Amino acid sequence: MVNIAIFSPSQNPYSETFIQAHKNKLSGNVFYFYGKGLGIALEGVGKLATSFRLNQLKFKRKLLGKPFSYISDRLILDALKKYNIDVILVEYGTRAYALKRVLKSAQLPVVVHFHGYDASVTEVVENSNNYKEVFQIATHIIAVSKKMEQMLLDLGCPKDKLVYNVYGPQVEFESVQPTFSKKQFIGIGRFTDKKAPYYTIMAFHKVVLRHPDAKLLLAGEGILMDVCINLVKYFKLENNVLFLGVISPDVYRTLLSESLGFVQHSIRSKRGDMEGTPLAVLEASVAGLPVISTFHAGIPDVIVHGKTGLLCEEHDVDMMAKHMLQLLDMPECAKEMGAYGKARILEHFSLGRHIEHLQSLMQGAVKD
């Protein structure tokens, strides 16, 4: 049985369910390392830096004249050896860059999984040499959208190492049976620049002029929350727009089952940040709801405009409003799009397919 080490910047953040799927569904013995520097820990065990070992390494570092990073690197290498790790999966290209010395010293097969900002934020990728060593060390580089695939090629990733493997939604969303019982749209995700929730509210304001009883539910939290709350007050939409905060997957599935469509106006932010392929889009589509969103990153890879959802150009608030109105005015259209979307996600973008592909890459890397 293969021993897999997963490295992630932080432990179980609510918005990174795709990483939790890797941790929980990959076959073999999975060792989940999270955190950075001397704070790095192994889930179920605790921090790698015990007091005794830390003092040993501090003394050895001074004796050998090594940089401070020698200590954290040594802790990780010791753990890889202790648990007989066969292959390493690094979540985010930026994390792989930070671990490049360890990855090189370990001499193990390495799969680096890019997710979004790590392949798009200007300050991260403006110097392609940042990833040069990562591309050299890695056995495989995973992209989760066609757009990201091309961006990584442009940064110098060898084509023979690059693999397109979009996420899959949690299987629980497959069982959702939408009733389309309410004049209600739902969006879920962090209130960040690339998700532009204010554009969704601006579009919905136009919708309410024709459908004053329509509702918009927005779940999540983030730096743009206050902006969005103020915008709702300005438009006098307090009775139409509800901010739900962070909700559980069970609650989300219930809300999906009674809504008319999923909405998210994704854009590329000023600093270059982009989505990979938003998991919430996949979840809503496999639940049987049409998706109203933008031609952004991996969204048009999984949502077929006019068949499984309605997409507009980034920043086009008027068109997004028209798309919401189309579903309100023609609920049968919403049902047809939702059914087609569910079938398409199940056939081409299931979680089982995503995990199977990732598992195959890692086992193949070990054998090679």
pLDDT at 16: 79
Q: What is the pLDDT of residues 302-356, one digit of tens each?
A: 999 999 999 999 999 999 999 999 999 999 999 999 999 999 999 999 999 999 9
Q: Please name the amino acid found at residue 209.
A: L
Concatenating the DSSP letter of every residue in 211-230 gives -TT-EEEEE---TTHHHHHH
Same domain? For 132 and 175 the reply is no
Same domain? For 186 and 209 the reply is yes
Q: What is the pLDDT of residues 140-176, one digit of tens each?
A: 999 999 999 999 999 999 999 999 999 999 999 999 9
Assess whether pLDDT exceeds 70 at residue 14.
no
Q: What is the pLDDT of residues 197-218, one digit of tens each?
A: 999 999 999 999 999 999 999 9
**Beta-bridge partners for 216:** 185, 241
Same domain? For 111 and 30 the reply is yes
pLDDT band of residue 367 (cuts 50, 70, 90) is confident
The DSSP output letter for 43 is T
d(CA 92, CA 107) in angstroms, rounded, equals 20
d(CA 246, CA 59) in angstroms, rounded, equals 45
Same domain? For 128 and 179 the reply is no
What is the domain count for the chain? 2
Same domain? For 249 and 327 the reply is yes
Residue range of the domain that includes 50? 3-168+350-367
d(CA 278, CA 145) in angstroms, rounded, equals 10
d(CA 35, CA 153) in angstroms, rounded, equals 29
Same domain? For 160 and 246 the reply is no
d(CA 175, CA 156) in angstroms, rounded, equals 41
Concatenating the DSSP letter of every residue in 310-330 gives EEE-TT-HHHHHHHHHHHHH-
Q: Which has the closest alpha carbon to 299: 135, 162, 116?
A: 116
Contacts 24+ apart (CB under 8 A), 11-15: 11/35, 11/41, 11/43, 14/246, 15/189, 15/190, 15/220
Same domain? For 64 and 179 the reply is no
Same domain? For 208 and 323 the reply is yes
- What is residue 295's three-state secondary structure? coil
Same domain? For 159 and 177 the reply is no
Same domain? For 205 and 328 the reply is yes
Assess whether pLDDT exceeds 90 at residue 87.
yes
Same domain? For 53 and 142 the reply is yes
d(CA 366, CA 87) in angstroms, rounded, equals 6
Q: What is the pLDDT of residues 113-126, one digit of tens each?
A: 999 989 888 887 77
Same domain? For 293 and 180 the reply is yes
The DSSP output letter for 28 is S
* Longest Cα separation, the chain: 75
List the CATH number of the domain containing 311.
3.40.50.2000
This prediction's pTM: 0.92
pLDDT at 12: 73
